[in-house]
Chain A
Amino acid sequence: MTLRINALIGAALLAAILLALLIGSVSLPLDRVIAALAGQAVPGDMLVVWQIRLPRALAAALVGAALGMSGAALQGLLRNPLAEPGILGVSATAALFATFTIYFGIATAGPLVLPLAAVGGALIATLLVAAAALRTRSVVTLILIGVGLSSFSVAVMALLMNLAPNPFSLADMVNWMLGTVANRSFENLAFAAPFLVAGVAILLAAGRGLAALSLGDEAAEGLGLNLKKQRLAIILGAGLATGAAVAIAGSIGFVGIVAPHIVRPFLRYDPARLLVPSALLGAFILVVADIGVRLLPTDSELKLGVVASLIGAPIFVWIAARRRLA
């Protein structure tokens, strides 16, 4: 069953990525796109596919996958269907550090300065929450620390915008915070990839423990789960993956809540089996949303993060209203 669902969503994801390669200001029919993918096309086609469209589609897919899996893992750990990758404060702290580089004008020094700062922020937030997890038994405490971190980061970001030296850097900050995968290069992806791969690997290795946690912390310990190790693994894994996602695309909300929620009933509500399908579906949702962003005939292109929130927030309310168990 899990395999069939993975195959189904995986096939849909590949189709969506292919569709993303077909759409754009230069019209490229399917045969030319395929020729370009195979490296057999004229230089112009190659440039459009390999430098512009493929990195963008893959960026959307990677970010969606990272957020989908992190969301599923955190929901399992915190035993709450409304938990999302940002709940531990990782996204906001990463965004804050990225905003710093724009404010002080060092983001222009190189293409990797901003993602580097974002990953740095994500790591610091992750380590803070992990340190708290070693000291407390209560997951509610972790959530509250995450909320505190988020609020503080948002406050400092507001301060930086307030004090922005000129309208251009303010516009840069706002644009970055809205979240987008436009104009991403393979270089950007390659930079974030190691963090993403490490995070995903840690989450997958710790997946089985999430199944035990569905009985509650105490029963899970009784089942033979090392609670501390389990928490650390999920916090580190989700922190790394989310940090990588923010480094690529800025902050993009709600994918991490919605994707696990949609696949959960098909996986017998098992938090362990949920990880991979959530990642695939998160990737699919963002690739499709990004196609939508490019197709909508607006004067300035809509940002992916804005569209994701517009769709995601009502679904969030719907999920909250329909919860079956306390």
Chain B
Amino acid sequence: MSLLRAEVLSYAVEDRHLVADASFDLERGMVTALIGPNGSGKTTLLRLALGLLAADDGTALIDGLSVTELTPVARARQIAYLPQMRPLVWPQPVRDIVALGRFAYGAAPGRLSATDSAAVNQAIASCSLEGFEERAADTLSGGELSRVHLARALAGETPLIVADEPVAALDPRFQHEAMRIFRKVAAEGRGVLTVVHDLALAARYADHVLWMKEGRIVAEGSPLDTFSTDRLDAVFGVNAEVRREGSAVRLDISGPA
């Protein structure tokens, strides 16, 4: 059974198609990267697939069940969602923010069971946040906050993680660390769907790439099969050199086409 399956999802606002006929299928053990230029509908597609936005057409199935029939709690136990906008209003300590990842299990920052606590500790460790547990959110840098949010998503220990630009504010080292965390999650038999703007990261760490342009998924497949000079020009409008070294893909983007 696929973790998350989108079938011809469509969504329009005032006759403008933000997402049109988008289908994909996420398997266990895979990191899937969703890539596309700004405004291509990536975030909207994620929200449709999660049932946070009602699709005009098409369906999304989580573990075989339609998202419209799942309760929010049932969905949250299947999928941890890390949105692009992560506004914090209260200077809460890091540990409490990560603890919110256990919300769907009836937990809250003030009341964590032993299982919840263990999951929170592990998530903090995997994002290298030890020593930050009691730091207030407003004393953290943007990159540190991104790691806190990533830890929050990991704390749910869900079969699938859906992340919207999780590495945008991170320095190169933590970009790679974050992608490696995703690889580890996949190696445990879980799944990851992540929007990535850094194409080199997508090529390096994803098993599967969904290429999106103007609301449509225009190509999908392994990085090896789908990265090409022509496609990078057609989808992103950039001049790029694509080299294949064994099973790896190397990109050299020289500028706008």
Contact = CB atoms under 8 A, between A and B. Distances in A.
Interface string B57-78: 0000000000000011111110
Contacts of B73: 224
Contacts, number: 100
Interface in A227-249: none
B72 A225 contact: yes
Given A226-B72, A270-B96, A2 B103 contact: no
A324 interface: yes
Contacts of A266: none
A2 B110 contact: yes
A6 interface: no
B103 A212 contact: yes
A325 B88 contact: yes
Contact of B83 (A81, A222, A271, A326): A222
B103 A211 contact: yes
B83 A268 contact: no
Interface in B76-129: 76-77, 79-83, 85-93, 96-97, 100-101, 103-104, 108-110
Interface in B18-43: none
Interface in A253-278: 264, 268-273
Contacts of A212: 100, 103
A72 B233 CA distance: 53
Contacts of A225: 72, 103
Specify the main secondary structure of chain B where it touches its partner: mixed
A211 B111 CA distance: 11
B138 A214 contact: no
A326 B90 CA distance: 9
B167 interface: no
B6 interface: no
A214 B101 contact: no
Contacts of A214: 88-90, 92, 97, 100
Contacts of A269: 90-93, 96, 136
Given A211-B109, A268-B92, A268-B96, A219 B86 contact: yes
A75 to B, nearest CB: 9
A215 interface: yes
Interface string A87-107: 000000000000000000000
A301 B228 CA distance: 83
A105 to B, nearest CB: 47
Given A269-B91, A270-B92, A272-B110, A219 B83 contact: yes
B109 A215 contact: no
Given A211-B100, A211-B103, A269-B90, 9 more contacts: A211-B110, A214-B97, A218-B52, A222-B52, A223-B100, A269-B91, A272-B108, A273-B109, A325-B138
Interface of A: 2, 79-81, 208, 211-212, 214-216, 218-219, 221-226, 264, 268-273, 324-326
11 contacts: A2-B110, A208-B108, A223-B100, A224-B104, A269-B91, A269-B93, A270-B90, A270-B108, A324-B138, A325-B89, A325-B138
Interface of B: 50, 52, 71-77, 79-83, 85-93, 96-97, 100-101, 103-104, 108-110, 136-138, 152
